[in-house]
Structure formats: C-alpha cells, structure tokens
Amino acid sequence: MTRSEIETLLERHRAAFASRDPDRIAANHAELGTFESPAAGLATGRARITEVYEYWLSAFPDMEFTWETPLIDANRVSFIWRFRGTLAAAGKFFGEAKPGTRVEFLGAAEYAISPAGIESARHVFDFTGALVNAGALKVKPS
C-alpha cells in the first residue's frame, strides 16, 4: 500500500471513532484481522473485534479515542493515543465502577496494514491504572 492509501485508511478509522459506531470502527479491520490489548486479550476476526468496541462504547458512550501523528514505515503504523470517557449509568467496566466517573489514559498502538484493512492492531497501556482510575479496582494504601 502507498503512504497515501495508509493515511486515507487511518483518516477513515479516526472518523469511525468519532462516530462512536462499533460496526463502522471495526469495518476498518480486515475480516480475519486481530486486535490485542491488555483489556481484550487477543480478539480474532472482525466480529470479535466489533464486540470489543461495543463493550468499550457501552461502558463509555461519550468515548473519545484520539491519536498523535502516526509513524508510518512500509505497511506498519505506530502512534501514541489518548482515551477519554465517562462511565455510563450502568457502571460496568471490568467490574463495578462508579457511574459518571471520568476516565482518561494514554497508550500506544502498532498496526499492520494491508489492502484488506488493519490486519493486526496491538495496543499497550496501563490497564491496572485505568481500572483504578475508573474505580473498578481498589488499591490499599501502603
């Protein structure tokens, strides 16, 4: 793929996140692609990847997922991202959490891109910190 084609795919992916539509977001992934993160483990296939996005958007209906200018090298893309969102009234986020809690954290991603879409997406972030931030994990003071 050309750099321009990759940039177009990334812009479509950015717009899909802004729409908060899990099907639209997952449509940028290859049908047999993979998505890996500390929260989701390894999700294989677009249907399973859609479920990951549905979970996060259900927990955070106002979810914002933004990223800095990506580094593109051949068919690999890396970028630093920021997650922001407010826990929904249901308060479910990997356990019980206080509804209305504002959660924000940084992470990094690496994507492998092909004409079929995002073949693999690997996200890394402080998942324990995100759970503490959301109130789903309690920490004992030392």
Alpha helices in 60-142 (DSSP H): 127-134
pLDDT tens sequence across 9-46: 999 999 999 999 999 999 999 999 999 999 899 999 99
pLDDT tens sequence across 116-135: 999 999 999 988 888 887 77
97-106 contacts, C-beta under 8 A, 24 or more apart: 97/134, 97/135, 97/136, 98/134, 98/135, 101/133, 101/134, 101/135, 103/60, 103/130, 103/133, 103/134, 104/133, 105/129, 105/130, 105/133, 106/80, 106/81, 106/82
CB 77 within 8 A of CB 111: yes
Spatial distance between the Cα atoms of 94 and 112, rounded to a whole number of angstroms: 28
Domains of the chain: 3-134 (3.10.450.50)
Residue 31: per-residue pLDDT: 98
pTM of the predicted protein model: 0.89
Residue 91: per-residue pLDDT: 59
Spatial distance between the Cα atoms of 95 and 131, rounded to a whole number of angstroms: 9
SS3 2: coil
Asked if residue 82 has pLDDT above 90, the reply is yes
Tokens found for residue 7 = 């940039």
